[in-house]
Amino acid sequence: MTGRQRPQGFVTRGTTNPNRLRRIDNWIAAYAAGVLRDAADPLVVDLGYGATPVTAVELRSRLARVRPDVRVVGLEIDPERVAFAASAADPPGLTFARGGFELAGLRPVVVRVLNVLRQYDEDRVAPAWATMTGALAPDGIVVEGTCDELGRLAAWVCLDRAGPRSLTLAARLSTLDTPATLAERLPKALIHHNVPGEPVYDLLRALDDGWRDAAPYATFGARQRWQRAVASVKAGGWPVLDRPARWRLGELTVAWSAIMPTKFS
């Protein structure tokens, strides 16, 4: 950390919960396994960890299964939350510091920033994305998104240094009523665009239609039903990026280019 840059952003509500970010962490562990294993410096930033550092502690232990010497730095813009987290530090694998979207001068290979931008105005998203991706190490990624309090519904955008690459929707299938409920958890860049005429609206409709049509498969379990629903989304021409092994987990990942708000196209 240079100590000279002013942290970019502002303090927001610090709500967090143990295990809330499990789906996101497991996806990062799979998707970023290669970049983590190959990194000369396996540095990961958890930006905006909140009132307690519990999800940063969990991130470190989940990514250590991929890269045992992973270094997670929890950055918070609220100095009181930095001080509070100090007792959970376990250097060099887990440390805490003050920082914002500029990432405090660090050059991480992975940035997880969950439930942070949701509390900003939409016009702050693109500059925050650009600032974070501009600080990444080569081949690095930013995972930015939103989830519910218990992490049963989640949605996140994956970005690299060139910009947004994909959107992932993820749900705990055993408690999922309908995929339409994922709309409430869309990342800030998309949530205001879930209206007719916008591609993300069409995607959620396609997933919901597929879920409804797959109702007979519910007798074989919610996983079967979700897999059928995702397969129908793919058959409908959506650029589904992930494989059935991920669908089984209640995920769907599509190319950003297909759901980008029309104002950017």
Ligand X SMILES: C[S@@+](CC[C@H](N)C(=O)[O-])C[C@H]1O[C@@H](n2cnc3c(N)ncnc32)[C@H](O)[C@@H]1O
- The answer to whether the beta carbons of residues 93 and 72 sit under 8 Å apart is yes
The answer to whether 55 and 29 have CB atoms below 8 angstroms apart is: no
If you search the block for the tokens 């990942």, which residue do you land on? Answer: 253
Is there a contact between 148 and 185 (Cβ–Cβ < 8 Å)? yes
Chain residues that interact with ligand X, rule: CB under 6 A:
8-9, 11-16, 20-21, 47-50, 55, 75-78, 81, 100-101, 114-116
Residue 33 belongs to what H/E stretch?
Answer: helix 33-38
Ranked by CB distance to ligand X, the top (closest) residue is: 9
Residue 50, amino acid: G
Half-sphere exposure of 148 (CA within 13 A, CB side): 14
C-beta closer to ligand X: residue 57 or 222 = 57
Task: Classify residue 237 as exposed, middle or buried by CB count within 10 Å of its CB (0-12, 13-18, 19+).
Answer: exposed
Q: How far is the CB of 24 from ligand X (least distance, A)?
A: 9
- Closer CB to ligand X, residue 59 or residue 259? 59
Nearer to ligand X, 82 or 241 (CB): 82
Residues in Cβ contact with 247 at an 8 Å cutoff, skipping those fewer than 6 apart = 226, 227, 230, 231
Q: Which is nearer to ligand X, 84 or 201 (CB)?
A: 84
Q: Closest separation between CB of residue 114 and ligand X, Å?
A: 4
Kind plus residue range of the DSSP H or E element containing 206: helix 199-213
Nearest CB to ligand X, comparing residues 5 and 257: 5
Amino acid at 102: E
In a 3-state reduction of DSSP, which class is residue 157? Answer: strand
Q: Which is nearer to ligand X, 130 or 215 (CB)?
A: 130
